[in-house]
Amino acid sequence: MIIGVLKEIKANENRVCMTPSGVEMLHQAGHQVLVEQGAGEASGFSDADYAAEGAEIVATAGEVYARGEMVMHVKEPQPSEYQLIRPGQIVFTYFHFAADEQLTRAMIEREAVCIAYETIEGPRGGLPLLTPMSEVAGRMAAQQAAKYVERAQGGRGILLGGVPGVQPATVLVLGGGVVGTHAAQMACGLGAKVYLLDTNLDRLRHLSEIMPKNCIPLMSSPATIRELAPRADVVIGAVLVHGAKAPKLITRATLKTMKKGAVLVDVAIDQGGCFETSHPTTHREPTFVVDGILHYCVANMPGAVPLTSTLALTNATLTYAGVIADKGWQAAARDDAGIRSGLNIVNGKVVYPGVAEAFGMELVGVETVL
C-alpha cells in the first residue's frame, strides 16, 4: 500500500504522525511511504532521517493526497485539505467528529474511509491509540495548572504544593480515566490536595489503592461537584464519552460560585469540552477569562511537547497502520473488532453511533460496509 505521512497544518501543532523508525518498519513490510517535506521538523526529525529509512519525500500535501491510498495525520484534516481527499481514500487520524459538524459533513461529502484513532478499541477494552496522548495531556494539565494559577499568569497567586505552614492548593479532577489519573498523579507529586471524581465504583476502589494519600477519590455527582468547585483553586476536566460529546460538568451557575483567579483546564475540549463556558484555544493564545475564572482550553495540548508525543503516538499507531496496510481496511475491520470500532464514516455513510447521535444523522450498520 502507498501510505502518506502529512505535515500538520493546524495552528501550533508540532507533532507528526510517524517517526523515521515507523517508516522503516512499514518499508520493510513492503509498503511505500510518502512523507510530505518538512513533516517531522518540529518533532526533531529531518527529511534526510525519513529518506534514510526508505521514505520518498514529496513537496506538497496535494501530492501526498493524490498518490496515497492511506493518508495519516495527527489532527483532523483542515478545511483547506477537504477537497484533496478522494472517495474511498483511507484517512487515519484523530477526528473527534462529534465535536465538529463541519468536518463530519465534509468527510461524508468526500466519501472517504475515516478511521479514527480515538475510537479504536484494544483486545482487552480501552482505547489504545488515545491512551498515549491522554497520558501526555493529563500530565500537561497539572503542569499548565501549576503555571496559570500563578498571579503573573492571571491566577490566584498560589504555589500548587504550598510550603511548610501554608495550605497547598486544592485541585479537583473530574474523571478517573487515563487523563484524570495522570493529572492527579502529577498534582499530587507537586504536593496539592487532590479530589479525583469518577462514576465507576470499581475504578474508585482501584484508585484508592494506587493513588498517593493526598489524593481523595470520590463518587462523582452534580451535588459533589457543586460542593467542591467553590473550594477548588484548579479544576481539571478529564471526562470522556467514547466518540461522543463530553457532558457539561461545570455549569455557568457553578462557575459563579468559584474563587476569582481559579483555573479551569478542559482536556475534554476535543470532544466539545466539559465546562459550559469552554471554547477551543491555541498554544499561541491558550487562555481566556469568564466570571473571573481563567480557562485553559487548548485543543492539542500534546502538540507543545512534540518529540515525546510523536514517539508515544507512533508506538501506539504503527501496529494498526501496518495491519490496515497489509490487509486493506475492509479485511482488517472484519478480522479485528477493535479496528472495526475505529470506522466512523465510510463512503459517505456514518457508521459510528456517537457521531450520528451528535448531529441527528442516519446511522448505518458498520457490517453493511464490510
Q: Is 268 annotated as a binding residue?
A: yes
Question: Rounded distance, CA 209 to CA 204, Å?
Answer: 9
Q: Is 347 annotated as a binding residue?
A: no
Q: Of 227, 218, 280, which Cα lies nearest the Cα of 250?
A: 227
Q: Is 214 annotated as a binding residue?
A: no
Catalytic residue (choose from 96, 100, 182, 295):
96
Q: Is 134 annotated as a binding residue?
A: yes
Q: Is 173 annotated as a binding residue?
A: no
Cα–Cα separations (whole angstroms), residue 216 to 197, 210, 291: 8, 11, 28
Question: Rounded distance, CA 134 to CA 301, Å?
Answer: 10
Task: Please confirm, yes or no, whether 270 is among the known catalytic residues.
Answer: yes
Q: Is 299 annotated as a binding residue?
A: yes
Catalytic residue (choose from 266, 270, 295, 336):
270
Q: Is 298 annotated as a binding residue?
A: yes
Task: Please confirm, yes or no, whether 96 is among the known catalytic residues.
Answer: yes
Q: Is 198 annotated as a binding residue?
A: yes
Tell me the DSSP string of 158-208. Answer: --TT-BTTBPPPEEEEE--SHHHHHHHHHHHHTT-EEEEEES-HHHHHHHH
Residue 290 CB neighbours (<10 A): 16
Q: Is 66 annotated as a binding residue?
A: no
Assign 14 to helix, strand or coil. coil
Q: Is 269 annotated as a binding residue?
A: yes
Q: Is 39 annotated as a binding residue?
A: no
Binding residue positions for NAD(+): 134, 198, 203, 220, 239-240, 267-270, 298-301
Binding residue positions: 15, 75, 134, 198, 203, 220, 239-240, 267-270, 298-301
Residues carrying an active site annotation? 96, 270
Binding residue positions for substrate: 15, 75
